[in-house]
């Protein structure tokens, strides 16, 4: 299963998602964070349509490091 997820993430990085921003850029991350927030606050399930796994991975990773000293 981990190999399948790795391959899926590699494929996702080669295509443009619906955000129109370069994957893993700050603008891209902000776009998906806003969509996730809309889903969580307004229960708008359509907000997550097309959300790549990489976006969720980045959001989770940034959340782990938030507030930690650098």
Which alpha helices (H) appear in 1-70, and where do they start and end? 2-13, 26-42, 53-65
Against a cut of 0.75, is the pTM above it? no
Inside any domain, residue 70: no
Cβ atoms within 10 Å of 55's Cβ, excluding its own: 23
Inside any domain, residue 21: yes
pLDDT means per 10 residues, the chain with 70 residues, are: 83 74 88 95 93 92 74
Inside any domain, residue 16: yes
pLDDT of residue 16: 66
Tell me which residue range forms the domain holding 25.
Answer: 2-65
Inside any domain, residue 15: yes
pLDDT of residue 1: 76
Query: For the chain, how many structural domains are there in total?
Result: 1
pLDDT of residue 67: 65
Inside any domain, residue 17: yes
pLDDT of residue 5: 84
């Amino acid at each position: 299963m981990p190999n399948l997820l790795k391959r899926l993430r590699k494929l996702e990085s080669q295509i443009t998602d619906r955000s129109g921003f370069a994957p893993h850029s700050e603008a891209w991350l902000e776009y998906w964070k806003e969509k996730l927030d809309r889903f969580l606050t307004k229960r708008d399930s359509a907000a997550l349509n097309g959300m790549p796994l990489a976006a969720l991975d980045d959001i989770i990773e940034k959340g782990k490091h938030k507030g930690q000293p650098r």
